[in-house]
Structure 1
Amino acid sequence: MTADAKKKQALLLAVVILFWFAQYVYIPYQTPYLLSIQVSEAFLGSILGAYGVTQMLMRLPIGVMADSVGRHKIFILSGTLAAGAASLIRFLLPGGTGFLAANLLSGMASSMWISFMVMYTGFFPEEEQQKATGRIILCNNFGILLGFLMSSLLYKNFGMSLLCILSIAAGVLATLLAFFLKEEKGTGAFSHISFASLKVCLHKRLILFSLLALIQQGVQMSTAMSFTAQILKERGASAFLIGFSSIIYMVSAVLTSAFSSSKKAVKIGSGTLIPIVFFTLGLYCILIPITPYIPLLLALQLLPGMATGILFSNLTAEAMKGIPAKIKSTAMGFYQAVYALGMTLFPMFTGSLAAGRSYLAAYILLALAAFVGTAVSLIYYCLKKPAA
């Protein structure tokens, strides 16, 4: 690999880290903050779900357009700008309505993640796609971890406003760096011929792993990224410990992302890793609402971290297997749009059920969803073996 290629990769990964820092620095305290200003749990579920709404609607069209024009830089720039702009809205309108609008815009920003991933994995040959996917998701998780660290250190004394300012600053810096990204010249113009690429959405393997990612992302957005923080608060955890729980989660995600891109993980194989980690995610959902001890709740955050680092990396790599490069953005758009449906509906459902009944009831149903993922992936890989 040439020095120039390494520089391109490093610059893009730096943008990735800043982008996800901007998107997640406020997340550990979003749920407790909104509940503290009298936002209802049902409305909170809608606010959390709004993040997935725009992703669900925009990711496939963006994938088609990216394949058509053959360029990704403009989509990356749009994402970094939107990430900063969303937190500007949170800063100026710090109530439930402001967060709802901002989360819709943050969802638009995350819709551009397609181009980050396709540009980066395009630097690598087919046989190194799992390694490349694991590496960019590692940087994704590292950016979130840095955000969680900063929020844990600063929220108690400075509140949500400073977290929003940090998010704005990271979005601006990511945008400035993204201007220096270089890519191969595409057509630069949209072509209606690109709609032919939509046939990839009928690819059975892509559909299967998109649905499995829907479960994984939906469960995590409803638990580790949102309502688990409120359960900790109800157990008597301080603001610092709530932030620390998110740090544990993301440290686990970063470390397991590194493992996911290793030769050992490739040797073990997705057929073993996916069912095992889905099962541990289900156990997490059962244990969180029935555990009375804060130290044990903190330790349990390692499990969803594994799901982010190992499960999501493997699901993404498996979904993209065999997809031609010229329609990969469309395939990635479909994949991300499907799992965005989970990110939208699961938190809404969890918030409504928690408000109407209890967190225990909501988390048990989330556990059942994770166990469905375990069973489906086991059946798929068992049926696949004889044909191999």
Structure 2
Amino acid sequence: MKKTTKKSYLLLIIVIFFWYAQYVYIPFQTPYLIGIHVSVNMIGIIMGAYGISQFILRFPMGILADIKQRHKIFIVTGCALTALASIVRVFFTDGMGFLVGNIISGFASATWISFMVLFLSFYPKSQRTVATCRIIMANNLGMFLAFLSSTLLFEYGGMVFICVLSVISGVVATGLALGLSYPHKLAKPTPVRLLLTVFSNRKLLFFAFLALIQQGIQMSTTMSFTNQIIKGLGASAFVIGLSSLIYMLSSVCFAKIGSSPLCNKFCKATWITLSFVLLAAYCFFVPMATTFWLILGLQIIPGISTGILFSFLTAEAMQGVSRSVNSTAMGLFQAIYAIGMTLFPIVVGYLSKIYSLGFAYAVLGGIALFASGLYLVSLKTSAVLD
């Protein structure tokens, strides 16, 4: 068991470097693109490109991972792609360079299936929720360290230097991933016809849809256009970075809470419902803020959404899924929520151009309330939760 634990710790370290490489440039991506006169519409497309490549690849990759049972290969490939994506951004610093870079980053994130499935395989089924919260906490810690670096260094080194840090982290992650090993003997490949039965898993599909909404709102607000709002209120680059730091630090803390006995004192239904309501409040209040200091306080809310809500949605979706179809189920789950990561930023960019950013955020708030109501209805009917 101690040997297995050590193997899982190595994977957690790789996860930290992987997501550092993926997100170190994110706090300043939208302000940077606006600064070089990329249109709001195009920025929405650039942000959405990250999701579309995940949507295309994640389900096929999940099937392939279950057939081949070789998660290490996918993890090494994903880490290498994070470095390649930022190499493109270093040499092509315009909107097109970031578009291509985000597509490659999406390919890298598509391999997250193997990170998740391999890590969960180190733990017994009874500890699946705890294990899920742990790996998402490592995910959030990597993003937090990335945001901390960019906050402290962006004004001195600029976007190219930040992307170089991404390349270095991706290379380190790749090197560490080469040393990964499996917790047990590889299982026999599962026939494809059995893998496709995940499409009949109503619980998986339902929680994937809720995750689509949560991830879509996060990608459209905290990861992109909220930074534009903060900059419009006169914030410096340091304050923009600080805003992302507050979000990520709260994500790490709430992911830790999600894996603790303290969180279990309240039922998952309470956390899921409350988190969606708070996310709606965030969408309504951020465009109304008259000072960026208020937004800094509001950044705790998406931290709850990422740290607890997304962890619980993932755990609930995978509950009852047999080990033989784990990767396929995770691939389907991640492919579905990648639709939100793709469409929501594009829609927000379009609505901002036609109406206003405040109107776009209000629409997102309404969608979050819809998700909360839908979940409550499902609890009463037990239509998809059994």
Normalising by structure 1, we get a TM-score of 0.97
Query: What's the counterpart of residue 370 of structure 1?
Result: 368
> Contact 1:210 / 1:338 at 8 angstroms: preserved in 2?
yes
Distance 2:265 2:297 in 1: 28
Query: What's the counterpart of residue 162 of structure 2?
Result: 163
Out of 333, 336, 354, the position equivalent to 1:335 is 333
Q: Counterpart amino acid of 2:107?
A: M
1:352 positional shift? 1.2
Distance 2:70 2:262 in 1: 34
Distance 2:199 2:259 in 1: 26
Query: What's the counterpart of residue 42 of structure 1?
Result: 41
1:355 positional shift? 1.7
Query: What's the counterpart of residue 203 of structure 1?
Result: 201
- Cα 1:155/1:195, change in 2 over 3 Å: farther
> Contact 2:5 / 2:122 at 8 angstroms: preserved in 1?
no
Q: Counterpart amino acid of 2:348?
A: T
Alignment of 1:1-388 (within 5 A): 1-2=1-2, 4-183=3-182, 184-186=184-186, 193-384=191-382
Distance 1:207 1:28 in 2: 31
1:86 positional shift? 0.2
Distance 1:194 1:185 in 2: 21
Aligned residues: 384
Distance 2:126 2:377 in 1: 25
Unaligned 5+ segments in structure 2 are none
Distance 1:133 1:43 in 2: 35
> Contact 1:68 / 1:187 at 8 angstroms: preserved in 2?
no
1:192 positional shift? 8.7
Distance 2:380 2:108 in 1: 38
Query: Alignment identity in percent?
Result: 47
> Contact 2:27 / 2:240 at 8 angstroms: preserved in 1?
yes
Distance 1:333 1:22 in 2: 22
Residues 84-93 or 178-187, more deviating? 178-187
1:185 positional shift? 4.5
Distance 1:15 1:168 in 2: 14
Distance 2:8 2:122 in 1: 8
1:187 positional shift? 7.0
Can you list the C-alpha shifts for 1:62-103, whole angstroms capped at 9, x where unaligned?
Answer: 000101111200010111000110000000101000100010
Residues 258-267 or 290-299, more deviating? 258-267
> Contact 2:120 / 2:132 at 8 angstroms: preserved in 1?
yes
State the Cα RMSD in Å: 1.5
Q: Counterpart amino acid of 2:123?
A: F
SS of residue in 2 equivalent to 1:268 = coil
Give runs of ≥4 in structure 1 deviating > 6 Å.
none
Q: Counterpart amino acid of 1:308?
A: T
1:196 positional shift? 2.8
Normalising by structure 2, we get a TM-score of 0.97
Q: Counterpart amino acid of 2:342?
A: T
> Contact 1:70 / 1:185 at 8 angstroms: preserved in 2?
no
SS of residue in 1 equivalent to 2:192 = helix
1:195 positional shift? 4.2
Can you list the C-alpha shifts for 1:292-319, whole angstroms capped at 9, x where unaligned?
Answer: 0221110000000100000000000000
1:205 positional shift? 0.3
